[in-house]
Amino acid sequence: PFKGKSDADLQGKKKKKLKKKNLKENGKEEPLKPQQKPRASPAAQKNLEKTKATLQSLNGATLQIPKGNAEPSFSTVDVLRKRLHEKIEESRGQGAPKDALSEAVMAKRAKRKMERERKKRKRKEFLIKKLAEQSAQEQPAEIKEETIAPASEKRVKAAVIFNKVETVDKAYETSIQAKIKRKKSEKGKITPLTGKNYKQLLSRVEARKEKLEKLREKDETKASEMEKKIKWTNMLYKAEGIKIKDDEDQLRASLKRKEKRREQRKKKWEHRSENVIEKMQQRQDKRKKNLQRRKKAKIEKKKDRARKKGRILPEDLKKAAV
């Protein structure tokens, strides 16, 4: 619980304030309490004594150290340290001269500078002289300037210059356009007997043969001209690299071979389909057997459990009766 300030505390504070006021009026101040100096540790005292001894030995003068815990003044230590540093610098020969900006020093510096510049100038003159001698000894190499003939003169007059030809992609052709183009490319309005449709080729050869025979019956000259024309056109096609298949015997043989191959493929396919069906049936039968076996095994397992529990099954009764 909260406790309020008592009356005694308030009276004490008032008394203190009055006391201070009276002292100010009289012109007196409260005496300050003397601060206690921290006592140095024994290790620190030993270090201090050592430093004092070294300083005394370096300066060659004994310091009058007061007895007791009294320490030397700060200014004395600084002076001694300064003297020590000065002596060390003098012994090393690094100490700055007393009169740094004296006339003798300035003259010495100027003399050194002049000497450096003179040596530099002399070195430069020597190098220039050496280079001049070398250039006089070496003869400049003669550079033969080849007369470059213009491109127009070098170019052979007989040479053919090919320009860049911009090609356009082949346009789309309909089936009718392609047919017209094919007809135009036909020589002497005779279509070449090409392709692998041997049945059609054979029928065309037979039709042509019949036509020639009929024409020969009417007019032999026309028939011979027609025959010549066919031969010439075939020769032209062959010259272009088109293989003409107009031999009736060869066409029959190739047709027979093709039909035989087709029959073989048909037989192979039938045999394969039969094998596939057979394998499928075998797999199905196997699956059925496996399922039945699992089913039977499950039932037997259940029966065994029942027997273990002490149940009597109808099968067991039948066996017992027998």
Q: Is the pLDDT of residue 316 over 50?
A: yes
Query: Considering the domain boundaries, does residue 291 fall inside one?
Result: no
Q: Confirm whether 225 is domain-assigned.
A: yes
| Nearby residues of 258 by Cβ (< 8 Å), 6 or more positions away | 198
Q: Which structure tokens are listed for 181?
A: 């183009």
Does residue 195 belong to any structural domain of this protein? Answer: yes
With cut-offs at 50, 70 and 90, classify the pLDDT of residue 281: very high
Q: Return all residues near 11 (Cβ < 8 A) that are at least 6 apart.
A: none
Highest mean pLDDT among 80-94, 154-168, 181-195, 203-217: 203-217
- Top pLDDT among 317 and 98 is at 317
Alpha helices, DSSP H, located in 155-194: 175-185
Which domain covers residue 214, as residue numbers? 187-246
- Of the listed ranges 141-150, 157-166, 281-290, 291-300, the least confidently predicted one is 141-150
Q: Is residue 220 part of a domain?
A: yes
* Position 118 in a domain: no
Q: How does pLDDT run across 126-176, given as a tens digit for each residue?
A: 999 989 888 888 755 444 444 454 544 544 444 455 555 555 556 667 877
Q: Please state, as a whole number, how many other Cβ atoms lie within 10 Å of the Cβ of residue 14.
A: 10
Both tokens of 175, joined, read 């089936």
Instruction: Give the Cα separation of 33 and 71 in Å (integer).
Output: 23
The answer to whether the CB of 38 falls within 8 A of the CB of 71 is no
H-assigned helices in 186-247: 198-218, 220-240
| Distance (Å) of CA 68 to CA 43, 65, 72, 136, 171 | 16, 9, 12, 93, 124
202: in domain? yes
Measured CA to CA, the distance from residue 234 to residue 226 in angstroms comes to 12
Q: Please report the pLDDT score of residue 145 as a whole number.
A: 47
Q: If you average pLDDT over every residue of the chain, what do you get?
A: 75
CA distances from 35 to 28, 29, 46, 66 (A): 21, 17, 25, 22
Which of the pair, 278 or 17, is modelled with greater confidence?
Answer: 278
pTM, full prediction:
0.34
Give domain status of residue 63, yes or no: no
pLDDT at 219: 86
Q: Indicate whether 214 belongs to any domain.
A: yes
The whole-angstrom distance between residue 251's C-alpha and the CA centroid of its chain comes to: 64
Number of domains comprising the chain? 1
- Which range, 30-34, 93-97, 314-318, is most confident? 314-318
